Amino acid sequence: MPKKLILITGGCRSGKSQYAIELAKKLHKKTTVYLATMTFKDAEMQERIKAHQQSRPQEWQTVEEGRDIDTVLMNLKGLSEVVLIDCFTSLASNLLLELQEQDKVLGRIESLLKVIADSDLTVIAVTNEVGAGIVPDNKLGRVFRDVAGCVNQLVAQAADEVYLMVAGIPVKIK
């Protein structure tokens, strides 16, 4: 299987994760790794995480890492062919809260994309389109929206394929 970077983007509840899972099942040859980037631990978020866990095949390996996923990917050399990263939006949020600066976050994403390009993995990346909604009423919300948009642009530029999910329907845009 030739390696690829496939980006799946769309709004909340557009079917991104489910489409990514179905795509990974079709590509699966050896071991698929589900790389979960969500780190929030309140009760509502735990329910969301539980639903995501139940939606993927039990034989997949799950790795939970909210920041240093480049290290995880480097450690998967020869152990997996397909990695599903869900999601870049959470990763961007985690990095923004840690690093506090857009340029530092984008630098980390650029480094991660280099690791992906240098790997022998097919990576399916999920992300949210957050810029199509209302303008947040606070500075952190606006900075996050801007960072997420820039992260999405970087990943889309590096991707071999990009799909926009609209009401559960994948639309290939690249």
For residue 16 the two structure tokens come to 């991104």
Of 64, 62, 67, 69, whose CA–CA distance to 21 is shortest?
Answer: 62
- Host H or E run for residue 53: helix 43-55
Tokens (6 digits) for 106: 């984008």
Q: Which two tokens stand for residue 78?
A: 């020869």
Catalytic pick among 5, 17, 33, 52: 52
Q: Which residues of 99-123 are buried (b: 16+ CB within 10 A; e: fewer)?
A: beebeebbebbeebbebbeebebbb
Q: Is 28 a catalytic residue?
A: no
Active centre residues (catalytic)? 52
